[in-house]
């Protein structure tokens, strides 16, 4: 029997006693019935109040008595072994649970440590790759700068070599022009001396030869002479001799040749 059942029974007996005592003081049956109804209502109210008042105290009392009941149960020979086994089992379960929690904590720590090491290693590798990339970029920039400088130096050297070649060609052209001028000078000097000799010969022929003979001589020498000065003088002497020989047509032909000379290739 629980404490609640006991409180209900006690309330019921108290109500019954109250009804018995009330019946002794009832003068008439009608009054007794009324009192009995009132007694029942009072009993019901008292029972409800008692239940409400005693239920928390009964619960507290039951909680306080539970360890005592368990202790009494453990104190029994048969239940003591079961309690010890149960306690040992509970202790083992608790130790196992604590061990599992500790292992889980250690596993989480190791996992976090591994993850931290992996992240640190990845960060170091990333930093190394970044350094290598920056070093490669720096080396590439230096190489490109050196190549650019070498190209500029080669271009400058090529420009200087081209300028030197142009200067050398200009110098050679100047030397060639100087040599040509020197040769022309020498040729002009030699031609002038030959012309002088030819003119002297023409003067001598016109002085000492007969007009007819001088005309034939000048006509024969005209095709052999290439100097314009000598040809000019020969044609003058030849036209004069033709006039003396009364051959005006031939004289006019020589004069036309002097005025409008016929060059090679003209028709």
Which pLDDT score, from 0 to 100, does residue 157 have? 92
Q: Could you tell me if 84 and 162 lie in one domain?
A: yes
Please indicate, yes or no, if residue 46 is contained in any of the structural domains.
yes
pLDDT (0 to 100) of residue 15:
62
Confidence (pTM): 0.30
> Are 160 and 220 in the same domain?
no
Tokens of 65: 């008595």
- Could you tell me if residue 197 is inside a domain? no
What is the reported pLDDT for 21? 54
Residues 187 and 233 in one domain: no
- Look at residue 117 and tell me if it is in a domain: yes
What's the pLDDT score for residue 191?
Answer: 59
How many CB atoms are closer than 10 A to CB 194? 15
- Tallying the residues shown for the chain, one arrives at 267
Handedness of CA 185, 191, 194, 195 (dihedral sign): negative
Choosing from 25, 42, 75, the residue where a domain stops is 75
**Domain match, 12 and 112 both:** no
Q: Are residues 120 and 104 in the same domain?
A: yes
Q: Say if residue 180 is in the same domain as residue 136.
A: yes
CB neighbourhood size of 218 (10 A): 25
C-alpha gyration radius of the chain: 78
Residues of the chain with pLDDT under 70: 1-39, 42, 46-78, 187-191, 261-267
Tell me, yes or no, whether 100 and 126 share the same domain. yes
Q: Does residue 9 lie in a domain region?
A: yes
Task: Report the alpha-carbon distance of residue 67 to residue 176 in Å, rounded.
Answer: 137
Contact at 8 Å (CB) between 222 and 238? yes
What pLDDT, on a 0 to 100 scale, did the predictor assign at position 152?
93
For residue 242, what are the domain limits? 209-259
- Total structural domains within the chain: 3
114 & 134 share domain? yes
In a domain, 200, yes or no: no
pLDDT of amino acid 4 = 46
Neighbours of 180 (CB within 10 A): 10
Residue 111 lies in a domain: yes
């Amino acid at each position: 029997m629980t404490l609640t059942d006991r409180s209900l029974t006690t309330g019921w007996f108290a109500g019954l006693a109250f009804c018995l005592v009330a019946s002794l003081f009832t003068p008439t049956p009608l009054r007794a019935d009324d009192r009995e109804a009132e007694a029942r209502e009072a009993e019901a109210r008292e029972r409800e109040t008692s239940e409400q008042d005693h239920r928390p105290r009964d619960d507290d009392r039951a909680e306080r008595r539970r360890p005592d009941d368990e202790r009494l149960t453990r104190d029994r020979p048969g239940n003591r072994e079961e309690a010890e086994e149960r306690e040992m089992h509970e202790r083992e379960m608790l130790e196992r649970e604590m061990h599992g929690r500790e292992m889980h904590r250690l596993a989480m720590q190791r996992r976090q440590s591994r993850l931290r090491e992996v992240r640190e290693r990845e960060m170091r590798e990333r930093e190394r790759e970044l350094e290598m990339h920056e070093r490669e970029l720096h080396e590439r920039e230096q190489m490109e700068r050196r190549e650019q400088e070498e190209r500029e130096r080669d271009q400058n050297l090529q420009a200087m070599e081209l300028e030197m070649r142009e200067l050398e060609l200009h110098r050679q052209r100047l030397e060639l022009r100087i040599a040509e001028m020197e040769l022309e000078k020498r040729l002009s000097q030699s031609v002038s001396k030959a012309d002088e000799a030819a003119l002297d010969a023409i003067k001598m022929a016109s002085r000492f030869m007969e007009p007819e003979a001088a005309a034939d001589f000048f006509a024969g020498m005209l095709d052999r002479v290439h100097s314009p000065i000598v040809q000019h003088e020969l044609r003058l002497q030849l036209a004069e001799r033709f006039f003396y020989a009364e051959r005006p047509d031939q004289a006019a032909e020589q004069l036309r040749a002097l005025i409008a000379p016929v060059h090679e290739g003209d028709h």
